[in-house]
């Protein structure tokens, strides 16, 4: 698969830069992905030559940009295999998409005694909005636990489901352990008790293909910036009939049909949920990110990242005192670890001096940290623009840190 890397590396200008005088090794894709040149160029092109608003003016410039903007919606529809383009809502990111659901679906649906199921693997963005919703509605949150391998306990999940369960919201891939959750098993079980199933796909989108029709999830959310696109752009997918039943999330321009002081009527999907001027440059550039994935091939990306993951586990496992957390049945290219007697922040700082960028901390998964019995871990997250030499440099850097600190 080295041919794939050779095809990819020159498309990412940041890979030609240095950090602290050393060639950059970027191992923090789970936080945000690097951007191909085509994405960067599209942002520049919009602000240099095409600045205007969308869905409003009828001059040619606005009509052309609006057409390109809506083309991105069609590309997202294809990317996740949605049934209709109206099911694709643009937001600021996964966090806003999940807050939108908590404020609309949650507030409208839930009452005292109802239950929301989350998992121990969840990012704070898929916990806090539901806690706030539970406070407003009187609903209760129940938690699907992990087993010691780092997989969700599906037997306990089945036992937690009941007629009281109204919403299940679970990530497709853990941003901390890399666990790939068995959504294809979990979603039908939730539907049997009449619950809606929401997928946090922030980590799924860059690591493989998504088929919302095959999954039969009710809603799904992800962010452009983790999928080689710009920051400030996200997607909320929802089944058309369900989105039609939900009230608007925000009020303002573009989400209205007509406004009077006596009554306002709302726009049709998807615009009912897209109030105000959007991140136009970001949406246009996101199209280029999706084209990059399509041209590279989702399966090619997935296969190559799996090779990198296997190599990384093999190399890191040989380092004395290094503990990798979790050994799930299926894992994406994300690894969390600690080194005995080395603080994670010291590790990250010293690796940074070697030009190596990793993430340390709780990764916005403090309940998971508690389950693992730690306050912090080091995390590497690999992408198709990494190679085996990056992993070798990481391991050499870790050994150098150990020599300095131990």
The residue out of 294, 314, 333 marking a domain boundary is: 294
At residue 130, the pLDDT reads 98
Q: Hey, what are 3's tokens?
A: 């041919």
Please indicate, yes or no, whether residues 7 and 146 belong to a single structural domain of this protein.
Answer: no
User: Is residue 116 domain-resident?
Assistant: yes
Is the preceding omega at residue 270 within 30 degrees of 0, hence cis?
Answer: yes
Please indicate, yes or no, whether residues 240 and 181 belong to a single structural domain of this protein.
Answer: yes
Contacts of 254 (CB under 8 A, 6+ apart): 55, 56, 267, 271, 274, 275, 276, 277
Q: Map residue 253 onto helix, strand or coil.
A: coil
Q: How far is CA 380 from the centre of its chain?
A: 16
**pLDDT of 3 over the 90 cut:** no
Please indicate, yes or no, whether residues 247 and 328 belong to a single structural domain of this protein.
Answer: no
Over the stretch 80-137, which tens digit does the pLDDT of each residue have?
999 999 999 999 999 999 999 999 999 999 999 999 999 999 999 999 999 999 999 9
Please indicate, yes or no, whether residues 232 and 108 belong to a single structural domain of this protein.
Answer: yes
Please indicate, yes or no, whether residues 346 and 324 belong to a single structural domain of this protein.
Answer: yes
At residue 182, the pLDDT reads 98
The residue out of 294, 324, 350 marking a domain boundary is: 294
Q: Residue 150: count other Cβ atoms within 10 Å of its Cβ.
A: 24
Please indicate, yes or no, whether residues 233 and 153 belong to a single structural domain of this protein.
Answer: yes
The counts of H helices and E strands in the chain are 15, 17
Q: Identify the H or E element spanning 292.
A: helix 280-296
Q: Residue 5: count other Cβ atoms within 10 Å of its Cβ.
A: 17
Q: Residue 112: count other Cβ atoms within 10 Å of its Cβ.
A: 9
Please indicate, yes or no, whether residues 14 and 118 belong to a single structural domain of this protein.
Answer: no
User: Is residue 388 domain-resident?
Assistant: yes
Over the stretch 184-204, which tens digit does the pLDDT of each residue have?
999 999 999 999 999 999 999
Higher pLDDT, 140 or 249: 140
**pLDDT of 51 over the 60 cut:** yes
User: Is residue 76 domain-resident?
Assistant: yes
Over the stretch 358-381, which tens digit does the pLDDT of each residue have?
999 999 999 999 999 999 999 999
Over the stretch 14-37, which tens digit does the pLDDT of each residue have?
999 999 999 999 999 999 999 999
**pLDDT band at 349; cut points 50, 70, 90:** very high
At residue 294, the pLDDT reads 95
**pLDDT band at 249; cut points 50, 70, 90:** confident
User: Is residue 130 domain-resident?
Assistant: yes
User: Is residue 132 domain-resident?
Assistant: yes
CATH of the domain at 381: 3.90.1150.10
Residue 260 sits at φ, ψ, to 5 deg, of -140, 165
The residue out of 294, 311, 329 marking a domain boundary is: 294
Please indicate, yes or no, whether residues 279 and 382 belong to a single structural domain of this protein.
Answer: no
Q: Residue 50: count other Cβ atoms within 10 Å of its Cβ.
A: 16
Q: Residue 90: count other Cβ atoms within 10 Å of its Cβ.
A: 25
Give exposure, 187-216, as e/b (b: 16+ Cβ within 10 Å). bebbbebebbbbbbbbbbbbbbbbebeebe
Please indicate, yes or no, whether residues 50 and 169 belong to a single structural domain of this protein.
Answer: yes
**pLDDT of 226 over the 60 cut:** yes
At residue 250, the pLDDT reads 80
Residue 42 near residue 67 (C-beta atoms within 8 A): no
Please indicate, yes or no, whether residues 301 and 288 belong to a single structural domain of this protein.
Answer: no
Please indicate, yes or no, whether residues 128 and 53 belong to a single structural domain of this protein.
Answer: yes
Residue 88 near residue 299 (C-beta atoms within 8 A): no
Q: How many domains would you assign to the chain?
A: 2
**pLDDT band at 263; cut points 50, 70, 90:** confident
Q: Map residue 125 onto helix, strand or coil.
A: helix
**pLDDT of 1 over the 60 cut:** no
As annotated, the active-site residues are: 364
Q: Hey, what are 92's tokens?
A: 């600021």
Nearest C-alpha neighbor of 300 from the set 30, 14, 3: 3
Mean pLDDT of the chain: 95
User: Is residue 36 domain-resident?
Assistant: no
CATH of the domain at 153: 3.40.640.10
Over the stretch 337-346, which tens digit does the pLDDT of each residue have?
999 999 999 9
Please indicate, yes or no, whether residues 272 and 329 belong to a single structural domain of this protein.
Answer: no
How large is the average pLDDT for residues 49-73?
92
Stretch among 51-55, 57-61, 195-199 having the lowest mean pLDDT: 57-61
**pTM to 2 decimal places:** 0.96
Angle between helices 280-296 and 298-317 (to 10 degrees): 80
The domain in which residue 334 lies consists of: 2-31+297-405
User: Is residue 345 domain-resident?
Assistant: yes
At residue 296, the pLDDT reads 94
Q: What share of the chain is helix, strand, coil (3-state, %, to 5)?
A: 45, 20, 35
**pLDDT band at 55; cut points 50, 70, 90:** confident
């Amino acid at each position: 698969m080295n041919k794939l890397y050779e095809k990819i590396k020159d498309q990412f200008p940041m890979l030609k830069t240095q950090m602290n005088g050393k060639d950059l090794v970027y191992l923090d894709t789970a936080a945000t992905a690097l951007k191909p040149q085509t994405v960067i160029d599209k942002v520049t092109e919009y602000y240099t030559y095409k600045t205007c608003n969308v869905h409003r003016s009828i001059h040619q410039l606005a009509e052309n940009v609006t057409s390109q903007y809506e083309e991105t919606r069609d590309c997202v529809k294809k990317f996740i295999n949605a049934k209709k383009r109206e099911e694709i809502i643009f937001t600021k990111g996964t966090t806003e998409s999940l807050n939108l659901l908590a404020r609309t679906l949650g507030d409208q649906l839930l009452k005292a005694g109802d239950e929301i199921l989350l998992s121990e693997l969840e990012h704070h963005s898929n916990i806090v909005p539901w806690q706030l919703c539970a406070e407003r509605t009187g609903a209760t949150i129940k938690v699907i636990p992990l087993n010691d391998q780092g997989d969700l306990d599906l037997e306990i999940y089945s036992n937690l489901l009941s007629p009281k369960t109204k919403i299940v919201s679970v990530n497709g891939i853990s941003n901390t352990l890399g666990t790939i959750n068995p959504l294809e098993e979990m979603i039908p079980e939730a539907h049997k008790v009449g619950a809606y199933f929401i997928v946090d796909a922030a980590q799924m989108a860059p690591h493989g293909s998504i088929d919302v029709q095959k999954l039969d999830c009710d809603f799904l959310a992800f962010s452009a910036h983790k999928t080689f696109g710009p920051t400030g752009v996200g997607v909320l997918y929802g089944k058309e009939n369900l989105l039609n039943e939900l009230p608007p999330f925000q009020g303002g321009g573009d989400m209205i049909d007509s406004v009077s002081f006596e009554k306002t009527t709302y726009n049709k999907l998807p615009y009912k949920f897209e109030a105000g001027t959007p991140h136009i440059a970001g949406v246009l550039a996101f199209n280029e990110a999706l084209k990059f994935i399509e041209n590279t091939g989702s399966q090619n990306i997935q296969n190559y990242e799996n090779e990198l993951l296997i190599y990384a586990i093999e190399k890191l496992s040989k380092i004395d005192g290094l503990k990798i957390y979790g050994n799930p049945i299926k894992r994406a290219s994300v690894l969390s670890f600690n080194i005995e007697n080395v603080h994670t922040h010291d590790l990250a700082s010293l690796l940074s001096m070697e030009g190596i960028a990793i993430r340390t901390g709780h990764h916005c998964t403090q309940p998971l940290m508690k389950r693992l019995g730690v306050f912090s871990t080091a995390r590497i997250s690999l992408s198709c623009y990494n190679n085996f030499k990056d992993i070798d440099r990481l391991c050499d850097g870790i050994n150098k840190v150990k020599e300095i600190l131990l």
